[in-house]
Amino acid sequence: MDKSPSEDMKKVSQKGVFKKYYADPKFREKHLAYMKTKIPCECEKMVTRVNLNRHKKSHIHKDRMKKLNQLEQDKMKIYSSNIKELTEKILKLLKEKENELK
């Protein structure tokens, strides 16, 4: 299994020698490349690792989260209204069948 630079970083920072490692151009390059990789944020936007914390405090993130929550709520409203409508249709059909059988 490949060791990710973050694991390396954790190890070295635990030993308190991150700075020493960071002076190594190879390590620094690896670390910078890792920080530049994009990961999906909880707001479903792709963000570089280096920007993730700053992005989460941004208006863009807060706005997207608000919209996502609104979308979830709207979906739930549609689902529940559809269920209500379906239930009414079924009850009506049953009633009709009952009347036919009388």
Output 38-45 pairs: Cβ under 8 A, ≥24 positions apart: 43/68, 44/68
- Choose the binding region for Zn ion from 15-23, 26-34, 60-68, 76-84 (rule: CB under 5 A): 60-68
Sole binder of Zn ion in the list 12, 35, 41, 52 (CB under 5 A): 41
Q: Report the residue from 9, 21, 31, 43 that binds Zn ion according to the rule CB under 5 A.
A: 43
Spatial contact of 80 and 87, defined as CB atoms under 8 Å apart: no
3-state secondary structure of 49: helix
* CA 1 centroid distance within chain: 26
Any contact of residue 52 with Zn ion (CB under 5 A)? no
Binding site for Zn ion (CB under 5 A): 41, 43, 61
